[in-house]
Amino acid sequence: MSAKLIVLGLDGATYTLLQPWMEAGQLPHLRKIVDTGVSGMLTSSIPPVTSPAWPCFMTGKNPGKHGVTWFRGKRRHSYEEIRLDSTSIDSKTLWEILSEDGRKVAVLNVPVTYPIRPVNGVMISGFLMPPGKRDFVHPPELLDELEERFGPYQEDLKTPLFTLVNQTPAAIEMLLQEARELLDYKFSVAEYIMEKDEFDFFMLHILEPDRIQHWLWNLLDSTHPHYQREIAERYYGMILEYYRALDSRIGTIVAKAGPEATIIIMSDHGFGPCHKGIDLNAWLLHEGYLKIKDDPVSQIKFFTWKMGWNPGAFIGFSKRLLKMKSIQELLRKARARGGGARSPLRTNRGLASLFLSMRDIDWTRSRAYSLSATGQIWVNVAGREPQGIVRPREEYQRLRDEIIEKLKGLSPRTQVKRSMRECLPRKKYIEESIWRTVPILSFCRRRTNTS
């Protein structure tokens, strides 16, 4: 390495949005990098989501080898979900290898880097860090220095994510305002650290494009079934202004890096519309792999679930509730007091006593289950799970292959008809969704050789 390497990670960045904006002259700095370097779509990880994708970049290995396959994993010998973190990564990272080679690194806000693993330089943890921690900066004294200069360090949004499901004006404005504040804060910190010292490798991760697109994609896509023209016209300019500000701050970093530096701008996955999703536990229940307890409380919840009482129905009710001006004012006050955003997982656990949930599963009769209801299916293996009933090896392999074959035959149209006939809940297990991950974006500016 004879020159600096600068990596800017834009979470969820996609050509679907950036390409037309670049062509229209709205993102001149990104356009210049594309025009003077190499760029294109790459294939993301499997699954193509934030938590396993960034460790793929860090380690050069796929999720099966580095150990992070989802946002959460399963505690050994239990049915409990646990947060995955840097201790789950079973490989050396790029910056650890560089540090061992005597290179100086700065790694800022990259997901799945908490708790900090020692590096030769600066490390600030990012997304998936537990809230309320103060040990997310290396060296530790740097945190006080940064907060004295820039104010309290904020890594993620405080906007209550639950409110964004309903896309009230107050929630949208809170999201966009906070995304802009985080953008300015993170880039200001990055520029300050870059000016303090010389680094061989420097990386900054920006999470907020992913956040904006997850929650507001239907306002950017006029063909989306949930497109709302009035709201889209009201906020499209504000969304574009965020990306224009992002482009401007990227231009500043590139200029500070100098003409000798190699610049890589990349994302972990792309973005696009998805009109249907699947609740795997509902499917497993339908296919007989999952069983509900026979006790009265669980059976009542099972009955009301089949009648349509589920978190989706609750969200529909809250949508009407959150339109009330008094409720919107309470949300603004909560944000002003610094109330943190609740993740969907924590919200689901909080509602578990009201709705059919993992607590109502009869493990003594269930052969397979999904902890988060999306993404992964676990077999209830004897000797591994506390109440496992599937024998290892031959029985496990037969059941695994059977489930795989059935999943290959899934079709939204046929499954919805089946679920109606079989009296599954009105929401079915084919659910509406507003996002999908697609191939990732990668920009690279070639190093300028002036010799």
Q: Does residue 47 have a cis peptide bond before it, meaning omega lies within 30 degrees of 0?
A: yes
Q: How far apart are CA 287 and CA 299, in angstroms?
A: 18
Q: How far apart are CA 403 and CA 288, in angstroms?
A: 11
Asked if 281 contacts 23 with a C-beta cutoff of 8 angstroms, the reply is no
Asked if 278 contacts 430 with a C-beta cutoff of 8 angstroms, the reply is yes
DSSP alpha helix (H) spans, 223-356: 229-257, 280-286, 296-306, 311-321, 325-336, 344-350
Pairing of strands 105-110, 121-125: parallel
Residue with tokens 């396993």: 52
Domains parsed from the chain with CATH numbers? 5-272+436-445 (3.40.720.10), 277-310+355-431 (no CATH)
- Digit-by-digit pLDDT tens for the chain (451 residues) are 568 999 999 999 999 999 999 999 999 999 999 999 999 998 999 889 999 999 999 999 999 999 998 888 888 899 988 888 999 999 999 999 999 999 999 999 999 999 999 899 999 999 999 888 899 999 999 999 999 999 999 888 877 766 676 788 888 999 999 999 999 999 999 999 999 999 999 999 999 999 999 999 999 999 888 888 999 999 999 999 999 999 999 999 999 999 999 999 999 999 988 777 778 888 899 899 999 999 999 999 888 888 776 666 665 556 556 555 555 565 565 555 554 443 333 344 455 567 888 889 999 999 999 987 566 899 999 999 999 999 999 999 999 999 999 998 887 664 444 443 343 333 333 333 322 222 233 333 333 322 2
Three-state secondary structure of 374-442? CCCCEECEECCECCCCECCCHHHHHHHHHHHHHHHCCCHHHHHHHHHHCCCCCCCCEECCCCECCCEEE
Residue with tokens 């040990």: 135
User: What's the whole-model pTM score?
Assistant: 0.81
Structure tokens that stand for 440 in this block: 């990732």
